[in-house]
Amino acid sequence: MRPRELRPGVYSVGAVDWDRRVFDMLIPLPEGTSYNSYLVRGTDQTVLLDTVDPTMTHVLLDSLSGVERIDYVVVQHAEQDHSGSLPPVLARYPDAQVLCSARAVDLLATHLGISGNRVRAVEDGEELQLGSKTLRFVYIPWAHWPETMSTFLPEDKILFSCDLFGSHLATSDLIGDERELYLAAKRYYAEIMMPFRPILKKDLEKVEPLGAELIAPSHGPVYGRPGLILDAYREWIDGPPHNLAVIPYVTMHGSTKMMVDRLAGGLIDRGVKVEKLDLQGLDLGRLATALVDAATIVAATPTVITHPHPLMVSALYLAAELKPKVRFLSAMVSYGWATKAVEHMTESTAGLKAEVIEPVVVKGLPTDDDLQKIDALAGAIATRHAEAGLT
Ligand code: FEO
């Protein structure tokens, strides 16, 4: 594919990966992804911003086929989906120097064996003059690795934001369709960025005043209206949770499903929005995305031996690692002869520091008395949400 001009002298030269279906052997990619790389030509010097995943090296090298000289390759992030094609790029352009953050130097040496005088660390805020264009490097640590930085091009008001504001979305659009992009970016935020909310807030405060008119992330299309994603990140990072209860569940013989249906109905009757997520075969990205706004999680599971079903163990492990802004936790457990499922789930989610609302534990099929307890749980959740003023 030929380079596509984003602004005069600024080109998209990366690769769209329509076929990739999983990232890190963990994150489903129902919409594929892209590995964005940008070429910036000043009157004096030419810079390549990031490379691509090593599986798509041929696409990048093909895009660069008419480019005779690259003076610098900026590595904004050392993870291999952006740095993996660095060795062949440096081989083609033997005079190019790598510029990266101070913390990336060690990562490039250990991950890719690139070191010595080919690599130079730039400081936070440092500017590189290319003649008619300038690149300003802005560290954005923990978005989502410690070494991550972004790059601002003031003459064109473009922020190259690296993984921050990214979306796993394969599309032929250079500028994204806003509705499609918002949903993909929310999912990406949930899966990749949410665990780092407190630090991301500071990163956001650094990049927002730059006044970018385009935001060009390292995954997914460009934002033609930066306010879309800046407003969304502010809300996702720092806004209150919504009046939403997420109910991940597993059912083996229908008992847990009966409880889930009763609870969901009770919550809806009381004005609480509900997302029921059957963990059997569930794309975990859906769970992660639901947790961005959730005020409450109610984990519903049968007992396997004495513990929660392994699908629930896995889901709660992920939920705890993602560190959503959830405020209330509860559980509904069914069992045959004994259970320690509640204790296990309470322990595994302790890091969320959420208030635990009295769980409902049922032996066999729920009785009328059990269903009344579930109604009471729905009432307790609705009351907590109302008292917190959640909308
Ligand atoms: Fe897209 Fe963290 O690499």
Cβ of 144 less than 6 Å from ligand 1: yes
385 lines ligand 1 (CB under 6 A): no
- pLDDT, residue 142, reads 97
Confidence class of residue 1 from pLDDT cuts 50, 70 and 90?
confident
pLDDT tens digit string along 289-313? 999 999 999 999 999 999 999 999 9
Instruction: Quote the mean pLDDT of the chain.
Output: 97
In the chain, where the domains are located:
4-238, 244-383
Q: Say yes or no to pLDDT of 115 above 90.
A: no
Please state the atom number of ligand 1 nearest to the C-alpha of residue 166.
Answer: 1
The answer to whether 360 and 373 are in contact (CB under 8 A) is: yes
Cα(226) to ligand 1 centroid in Å equals 20
Give the integer Cα–Cα distance in Å for 324 and 196. Answer: 10
CB contact set of 304 (below 8 Å; sequence gap of 6+): 310
**Is 82 close to ligand 1, i.e. is its CB under 6 Å away?**
yes
Q: Whose CA is nearest to atom 2 of ligand 1?
A: 79
The span from the CA of 151 to the CA of 207, in Å, is 10
pLDDT at 283 over 90: yes
How many whole angstroms separate alpha carbon 29 and alpha carbon 195? 19
Q: What atom in ligand 1 is closest to the CA of residue 219?
A: 1
Give the count of beta carbons closer than 10 Å to the beta carbon of residue 313: 19
Classified by CATH at the fold level, domain 244-383 comes out as Rossmann fold (3.40.50)
DSSP line for 287-306? HHHHHHH-SEEEEEEEEETT
Atom of ligand 1 nearest to the CA of 80: 3
Give pTM, 2 decimals. 0.97
The mean per-residue pLDDT over the stretch 245-267 comes to 97
Rg (CA), the chain: 24
Q: Which residues contact 203 (CB under 8 A, 6 or more apart)?
A: 140, 141, 142, 143, 164
Tell me how far the alpha carbon of residue 76 lies from the centroid of ligand 1, in angstroms: 10
The average pLDDT across 111-129 equals 95
| Cα maximum dimension of the chain | 79
CA distances from 285 to 18, 45, 133 (A): 18, 41, 39
- Taking residues 185-214, what's their average pLDDT? 98
Per-residue confidence (pLDDT) for residue 69, from 0 to 100: 98
Q: Which residue's CA lies nearest to atom 3 of ligand 1? A: 79
Superfamily of the domain at 4-238: Ribonuclease Z/Hydroxyacylglutathione hydrolase-like (3.60.15.10)
- Ligand 1 atom closest to the Cα of residue 162 is 1
384 lines ligand 1 (CB under 6 A): no
For the CA of 218, the closest atom of ligand 1 is 1
> What pLDDT, on the 0 to 100 scale, is given for residue 332?
98
Q: Encode pLDDT of 26-80 as tens digits.
A: 899 999 999 999 999 999 999 999 999 999 999 999 999 999 999 999 999 999 9
| Whether the Cβ atoms of residue 173 and residue 107 lie closer than 8 Å to each other | no
**How far apart are alpha carbons 236 and 218 in whole angstroms?**
20
